[in-house]
Structure formats: structure tokens, C-alpha cells
């Protein structure tokens, strides 16, 4: 073993990696990642729940915002369709 601690030539990985230990480390890492993912998903669910409307007034406000967004999308679509028609005519 070199002074680099487990590597030969201070940079190249030693070819003497124990496959059993490596497999165990990978299994542990996989389980840690799964646990982290479970925690993130739980936080996402909690956030989604907090963002839901709680009253009829909240729902009405959200409905207004969605209607305004839909109106904006429809205007953008009309503009894009008009641009496409002009481009088709020019060809």
C-alpha cells in the first residue's frame, strides 16, 4: 500500500478492490439513497398539502389566477398561430 492510502501511484485506483466489500458499500449507499428519496417525497407531499386552498375564498383566488394564466396561454397560442401562418405565406 502506498502513502496515498489505498491507491497505487497516487491517483490510479488499486486493482485490489475487494468485490464483497464494494458490493456491501454499494448496497449501503443504495439504501441511504432510497431513504433520502423517501424523505424528499414526504417533504414534497407536505408542501403540496400546505399549498392547497383551505377556504372557498382561497379556491376562488386560485381559480382567478388559473383563468388569467389560461387567457395568457390562449393569447400566446393565437400569436404563435398567426406567426406560423405568416411564415407559411412567405414560403
Tens digits of residue pLDDT in 21-31: 898 899 999 99
Rounded to an integer, the average pLDDT of 36-55 is 97
Question: Is the whole-model pTM more than 0.85?
Answer: no
Give the Cα-Cα-Cα angle 25, 28, 34 (nearest 5 degrees). Answer: 140
For residue 89, what pLDDT band results from cuts at 50, 70 and 90?
confident
pLDDT reading at 48 higher than 90: yes
Spans of all domains in the chain: 18-52, 55-91
CA distances from 71 to 11, 19, 64, 77 (A): 59, 60, 11, 10
Give 2's contacts (C-beta < 8 A, 6+ positions apart): 8, 9, 10
- Give pLDDT tens digits for 55-85: 999 999 999 999 999 999 999 999 999 999 8
Amino acid at each position: 500500500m502506498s502513502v496515498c492510502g489505498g491507491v497505487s501511484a497516487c491517483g490510479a485506483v488499486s486493482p485490489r478492490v475487494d468485490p464483497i466489500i464494494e458490493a456491501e458499500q454499494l448496497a449501503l449507499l443504495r439504501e441511504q439513497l432510497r431513504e433520502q428519496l423517501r424523505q424528499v417525497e414526504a417533504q414534497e407531499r407536505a408542501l403540496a398539502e400546505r399549498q392547497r386552498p383551505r377556504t372557498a375564498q382561497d379556491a376562488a383566488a386560485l381559480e382567478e389566477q388559473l383563468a388569467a394564466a389560461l387567457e395568457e396561454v390562449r393569447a400566446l397560442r393565437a400569436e404563435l398561430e398567426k406567426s406560423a401562418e405568416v411564415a407559411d405565406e412567405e414560403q
